[in-house]
Amino acid sequence: MDVEEVTDELYGLTPGEFTAARDRYAAEARRSKDPAAAKAIAALRRPTLAAWAANLLARRQPEQAGELLRLGEMLREAHRSLDGAQLRTASRQQHRLVTALARTAAELAGEAGQSVSETVLAEIEQTLHAVLARPEVAAQWSRGRLAKVPEAAVGFGVVTPDALPPRSAPEPKPVPEKGTGRRSRPKPGPGKDTERRREAERLRALERARATAGEAAAVVTRRERERDEARERRRTAAAKAEETAGPVERLERELADAREAARRAREAVTAADGAVEAADRAVTLAQEAAERAAAEVTRLERPGGD
């Protein structure tokens, strides 16, 4: 059994499909008397949702993935060589590209039936920052085989171009000594190697500080996005409440009118009941009078009736 092919297939599945498929392949390898393949496949870890979404981006959008990988190489080289100009160029792209690609990964996950929360979106961004900073993460991600979100990148983070050190100013030219016509020699200072070491140490300290600030800025961005989304949900809910308030008020008025009509109907029924009772009494009295009159007629019709 080709473990590489199986691994590539498994990490292309959704997290919910991964475990059952992995176990089937491991069992098949054991039945085929291939214990090494069975062990390797069984050791594969089910990817988290964020890692799977990041893998999906690398698999489905190879051109955008290549852009991120090239930017990571540029950033790492700039940090190794302390090339301020290259750092400025790369850092201008870093935050914009990571944010855009994380959103693309979330959209791809949604199309595959996997909903991505704000927390998972932040983990995708963390993964992409790690891709930029760490070659081993970049290698796994480029193959779509990350199983978990890498730890937050340490070494460099989001670097703002205006925070990078300025380009070194040119050394001043020697000034001729008065009355001699000769150029004075500059005062001796620390050796070039010492200056380079000091500058390198300063840039590394600045790099660490900027990384911390960049991570904090990313958190602020996420929190602002969450706040804006909460505000939008509140506006939507308020609009919905206002939209439904009109029909509710109308129904309440109609209910009040119906209750008043029912009250009047009940009063009319009560009044009608009284009228019916009075009519019943009148009918009874009339019947009694009629019976008495009939009896009188019968009496008078008999001869000698008196």
Q: List all residues 6 or more positions away from 98 whose beta carbon is below 8 Å from its beta carbon.
A: 68, 125, 128, 129, 132
pLDDT string in tens for the chain (306-residue length) = 899 999 999 999 999 999 999 999 999 999 999 999 999 999 999 999 999 999 999 999 999 999 999 999 988 887 777 666 667 766 777 888 999 999 999 999 999 999 999 999 999 999 999 999 899 999 999 999 999 999 875 545 444 444 344 444 444 444 454 444 455 554 545 567 787 777 777 777 766 665 565 565 556 556 666 666 677 677 777 667 767 766 777 888 888 888 898 898 888 888 888 888 888 888 899 898 888 888 888 888 887 766
pLDDT of residue 164: 42
∠ Cα 185 189 190 (to 5°): 145
pLDDT of residue 148: 95
pLDDT of residue 279: 85
Amino acid identity, position 184: S
Task: Centre a 10 Å sphere on the Cβ of residue 57 and count the other Cβ atoms it contains.
Answer: 26
Residue with token string 């100013």: 169
pLDDT of residue 8: 95
